[in-house]
Amino acid sequence: MFNISQLSSDRHARIVEGARARAHDLRRAAINDSLDAIALRLQRGWRGLAGTPPTRAPRQMEA
Query: Is 56 domain-assigned?
Result: no
Q: Which DSSP string corresponds to 4-62?
A: HHHHHHHHHHHHHHHHHHHHHHHHHHHHHHHHHHHHHHHHH-GGGGGTSPPPPPPPPPP
pLDDT digits (tens, 9 = 90+) for 19-62: 999 999 999 999 999 998 888 878 776 554 555 655 666 666 66
pLDDT at 30: 93
Query: Is 62 domain-assigned?
Result: no
pLDDT at 28: 94
pLDDT at 52: 60
Query: Is 17 domain-assigned?
Result: yes
**Average pLDDT for 4-33:** 87
**Whole domain around residue 19: which residue ranges?**
1-48
Structurally, the chain folds into a number of domains equal to 1
Query: Is 38 domain-assigned?
Result: yes
Query: Is 23 domain-assigned?
Result: yes
Query: Is 12 domain-assigned?
Result: yes
The identity of residue 57, as a single letter, is A
More confident residue, 15 or 60: 15
More confident residue, 6 or 54: 6
Angle at 7 between CA 15 and CA 21, to 5 degrees: 15
